[in-house]
Amino acid sequence: MNDMANAHQKNHDYHIIDPSPWPLLSSVGAFLLALGGIVYMRYLGGGSLKLFGLEMANPWIMIIGLAITLYSMFGWWSDTIKEGNEGHHTRVVSLHLRYGMIMFIASEVMFFVAWFWAFFDASLFPGEAIQATRVEHTGGVWPPQGIEVLDPWHLPLYNTVILLLSGTCVTWAHHAILHNDRKGLISGLTLTVLLGLLFSFVQIYEYVHAPFAFKDSIYGATFFMATGFHGFHVFVGTVFLLVCLLRAVNGAFTPKQHFGLEAAAWYWHFVDVVWLFLFFSIYIWGGWGAPIAHG
């Protein structure tokens, strides 16, 4: 019996996971979410899309895909947390988890590079980019003539300060857990989540009162795509940190095992850095010389 037990004893730092339904289920959810988003836009436009005699232009495919995706995320990450609590996240496994998070953030960097590229392509070559739209804009200048821009030293600066403060708070929380200071961990995460929510509310207010619309010009389209996707990442990061806060309140994380918190902090710092680039390139440089909207 001892020989059999020794034969099955793990003598390496790797973790071979049990069979899991989450990769397949998440793939199905992502496919339905993407397909549902396409047919939902067709539905909003009053169009029709039939497949095998069934009307596909409706919001339900997207809703089902979103539900499956969220369920898969919850189940997959719950299993990952369980594996860590059971001691399967050895030194090598933890290192590979960090590599995975670094690669994910690198892919997000390239995602935003695409939107910065679109903005700079339109702003540096306005003659080719600006075309007649519902609101007339003339002249090969950037921003297009007739566009009033947002004051970068008002709400955008306010949001910049908010994100920088939130970055210091999440760093405080990270250092607190390293020193086994649970009170500091919870306080830092609480402030970070509140500042993230405040940033989102301010950006929503800014969007509602923006003097230009998405469909009016190439300026509005590039502005809302770049800042809007950043706002979505702020929302995701806030949820990420909120989950970490709830776990911390329930006693999770130790000075030696807190990768979930570390990954959330990395992601939040990435969001901070992207916003600094957005603030300087789109709000300040991109609106330089244009009339500023007041009110």
Query: Is 129 in contact with 122 (CB distance < 8 Å)?
Result: yes
pLDDT tens, residue by residue, 265-282: 999 999 999 999 999 999
Phi/psi of residue 149, each to 5°? -100, 165
100 sits in which H/E element: helix 91-124
Q: At how many degrees (to 10) do helices 182-208 and 259-278 cross?
A: 30
How long is the chain? 295
pLDDT for position 291: 85
Residue 73: name the closest of 125, 12, 26 by CA.
26
Name the CA radius of gyration of the chain, rounded: 23
CA torsion 209-211-214-220 (nearest 10°) is -130
Give CATH superfamily name and number for 90-285.
Answer: Cytochrome c oxidase, subunit III, four-helix bundle (1.20.120.80)
Q: Domain-by-domain residue ranges, the chain? A: 18-88, 90-285
pLDDT tens, residue by residue, 93-143: 889 999 999 999 999 999 999 999 999 998 888 876 665 444 444 457 888
Q: What is the pTM of this model?
A: 0.87
Q: What is the DSSP string of 245-266?
A: HHHHHTT---SS--HHHHHHHH
Both tokens assigned to 228: 């809007």
CATH 1.10.1060.10: does it fit domain 18-88?
A: no
Lowest mean pLDDT of 38-42, 138-142, 168-172, 216-220, name the range: 138-142
3-state SS assignment for residue 50: strand
Over residues 237-252, the mean pLDDT reads 95
pLDDT for position 5: 47
